[in-house]
Amino acid sequence: MSVVIKPSEIEQNSMRIIAEELAERGISLPPEHETVVKRVIHTTADFDYAANLAFTADAVQKGVAALASGCGIVSDTNMVKAGISKPALGKVGGTVHCYMADPNVAAAAKEAGTTRAVMAMGYARTLHPNAVYAVGNAPTALLKLSELIRDGFRPALIIGVPVGFVNVVESKEELLATCEEYGVPAIVALGRKGGSNVAAAICNALLYAAADLQDPEDRNWKTN
């Protein structure tokens, strides 16, 4: 007779293991960052994120509050968009958008000789000036967001976690410094690591807190 293990039990056991391994490594997470860091480790099985996730002051609190008020999310990839929990987003009345495939963005990028990511961020700014911006792939999107912030843009939160080797480290460092200078909340994965799955995991950690769904039993595992 096979034993049926509920997905909620798998997550609970996984989080217990993560907590135990963090303790074994002598890592004590700030309470305000714990939910986000553990969610990213749960998604990646990579404990380096306990050290390389950087947070501006009250970034988690401000991100949760914004999402709880129905704030939208803008992503730089459809992978991030697909990975965000739609039931949790629906519970707080939010929406998620990605403009990388928008024909207007594609045409503008071609005409300007730049990336779609750059144009998508500028395009989204006009439509969603107070959204959470979650970037998991394009460092050029982070550079554009830094430029927009210096020009007066004030989104609810920026999640900057692109992965790769070219301009990735530099774009993250510039974004973090810019957000700290202008008081824009940010969560950034310093170094080369990151990705769309990390961006979605951070969004979900914030959404679960905003929607009071941190206990997986309350989600009935209709979310990721």
DSSP code, position 189: E
Residue closest to 144 by CA, chosen among 169, 118, 177:
118
176-189 CB burial, b ≥16 within 10 A, e <16? bebbeeeebbbbbb
Quick one: tokens of 111? 């005409």
User: 4-13: long-range contacts (C-beta < 8 A, 24 or more apart)?
Assistant: 6/221, 7/216, 7/221, 8/216, 8/217, 8/219, 8/221, 11/42, 11/216, 12/216
Q: Which candidate in 33, 42, 97, 128 is catalytic?
A: 42
To the query of whether residue 42 is one of the catalytic residues in this protein, the response is yes
Give the 3-state secondary structure of residue 224. Answer: coil
Q: Evaluate whether 214 touches 221 at the Cβ level (below 8 Å).
A: no
Q: HEC string of 56-125?
A: CCCHHHHHHHHHHCCCCEEECCHHHHHHCCHHHHHHCCCCEEECCCCHHHHHHHHHHCCCHHHHHHHHHH
- Which residues form the catalytic set? 42
